[in-house]
A and B are shown apart, each in its own frame.
Chain A
Amino acid sequence: MSAVAPPWAMLAELTHSCPLHCSYCSNPVELIARDRELNTGQWVRVMEDAAAIGVVHAHLSGGEPLLRPDLTAIVAAAARAGVYTQLVTSGAGLTPARLAELAAAGLHSVQLSVQDATAAASDRIAGGRWFATKERAAALVREADLPLGLNVVLHRHNLDTVGEIIELGASWGAERVELANTQFYGWAMRNRDRLLPSRDQLRRAEETVRAWRERLAGRMELIWVVPDYFDGVAKPCMGGWGAISLTVAPDGRVLPCPGAYVLPGLAFPDVREHSLRWIWEESAAFNAYRGTAWMSGPCAGCARRDTDFGGCRCQAYALTGDAGRTDPACSLSPDHHLIQAIATGDRPGGDAGPVANRRMPRARSGHGGEGG
């Protein structure tokens, strides 16, 4: 084994295309077009190479991964290589035949996104009438006897119904509901002022989640992804840069985190030009913020540096213009006032105006992902 510990997980962004238009979408503002996507053979090789360097989990995500007509072949390649696969989907396009095909190819589990507890509210956030589709998808997953998880991105417009969302998860047969407070990257950053909740809202939601967690103990797992704008504590983003996980973009670029597209000065290597092993172990991009040697400021001498790894590089860049600074979410950061000002409601136009649903580039003819 080399000095760099092997990765445990891979996020495979199979496509950035998606029929939903969620206002909190964390995909980059500039989406990768379909004609630049890896083809089937290239994804098959990514799965094989990922297994060979130690990846145990592959999260097949997007966009909407079901838009890839070759998804079954990609799942089968992962299964052959011994990689555990989870489909991360909106549910759009999950027909009984499709799910049967995926399960037969070795798919292990499904994580379904839900936007809110009712059709009207959920459809408003998703920018289309998808709630009934999701409900059917959940039933199909349970009928196929695959484990079902729900992921729900939380923000000002659905935090007050978190209890109903949890009940929905229980009634749909989910084993796990991930309640993820919005992370402000990509499209979500554009809507930040209109998505940020109030501190009171968050406190009430946390109490609700705590009560439900006790009630559902042993039956359903509730995961609360903390709102780092409010806690004064930086999240241990990705478990550390280049430490646990890698992201493969639709066009074959490999990133230490799905938010890193925007970071300047980093050339993200391409699986068509380099081996995944070289990318993980040797590339400048993966070594840029690996470990603690890059740290300066309060992080370098901090007892928490091996716990939170300086927080999130993308957030440091988004808020300070320098990806190498301490995450301003941390109360020890010299830039913490930036996030405090935002979180305490000192944001022009914060309460007014609608959130902007995600816009998708116009569909192109042809599909770069086929063949190979």
Chain B
Amino acid sequence: MSAPPSPPGPGWRPRLRRAIVLRHDPVRDQDLLVMPERIVVLNEEAAAVVRLCDGERTVGDIVTELTGTWPAAPVAADVSGFLVRIRDEGWVG
């Protein structure tokens, strides 16, 4: 497994790992990350980041897009901190 360097640079293009599914759950009205033995309930911000982990956008692209959505938030720090956490969980690579 080739993990990107830690902390990831702005050029890293995170991609949700195959077989991990991001979906909206209409019954609970929540966003879920579904994997073989685990279901993670995402809050709105987390879901917004994961939705952009398509392997094409860089971390910088993701930060730029979300800064437009949450102009008052410290998006750059929050996003890269979150991405490192979910990379360490093995959810994105």
| A, B: real partners | yes
A218 at the interface (CB under 8 A from B): yes
B47 within 8 A of A: no
Contact, CB under 8 Å: B34 / A56: yes
Interface residues of A in 90-126 (CB under 8 A from B): 108-109, 111
Interface-central residue, B3, B36, B37, B39, by most chain A CB under 10 Å? B36
Per-residue CB proximity of B1-23 to A under 8 Å, as 1/0? 10100000000000000110101
- Hey, which chain B residues are within 8 Å of A212, CB to CB? none
| Chain A contact residue count (CB 8 A cutoff) | 24
A328 interface hit (Cβ, 8 Å): no
Known contacts A111-B36, A147-B36: does B21 contact A84 (CB below 8 Å)? yes
* B32-64 interface bits toward A, Cβ cutoff 8 Å, 1 = contact, 0 = none: 101111010000000000000000000000000
Any chain A CB within 8 A of the CB of B27? Answer: yes
- B35 proximity list for chain A (CB < 8 A): 109, 147
How many whole Å from B54's CB to the nearest CB in chain A? 18
Give the total number of A-B pairs whose CB atoms are below 8 A apart: 46
A54 cross-chain contacts in B, Cβ below 8 A: 25, 27-28
**A153–B58 CA distance with the chains assembled, in angstroms:** 43
Q: A176 near B1 (CB under 8 angstroms)?
A: no
Max count, chain A CB within 10 A of own CB: residue among B18, B19, B28, B39:
B19
B81 surroundings in chain A (CB, below 8 A): none
A223 vs B21: C-alpha distance in the bound complex, in angstroms? 22
Contact assessment for A56 and B36 in the assembled complex, using a CB-CB cutoff below 8 Å: no
Decide yes or no whether B88 CB sits under 8 A from chain A: yes
Q: Which residues of A contact B (CB under 8 A)?
A: 1, 6, 8, 52-54, 56-57, 82, 84, 86, 108-109, 111, 145-147, 149, 175-176, 178, 218-219, 223
Contact residues of B with A, CB < 8 Å? 1, 3, 18-19, 21, 23, 25, 27-28, 32, 34-37, 39, 88, 90
In order of increasing CB-CB distance, the 9 nearest A-B pairs are A54-B27, A109-B36, A147-B19, A84-B34, A147-B36, A6-B27, A56-B39, A86-B36, A108-B19
What 17 additional pairs, Cβ within 8 angstroms, besides A84-B34, A218-B88? A8-B39, A56-B32, A56-B39, A82-B23, A86-B37, A108-B36, A109-B36, A111-B36, A147-B19, A147-B36, A149-B36, A149-B37, A176-B36, A178-B37, A218-B1, A218-B3, A219-B1
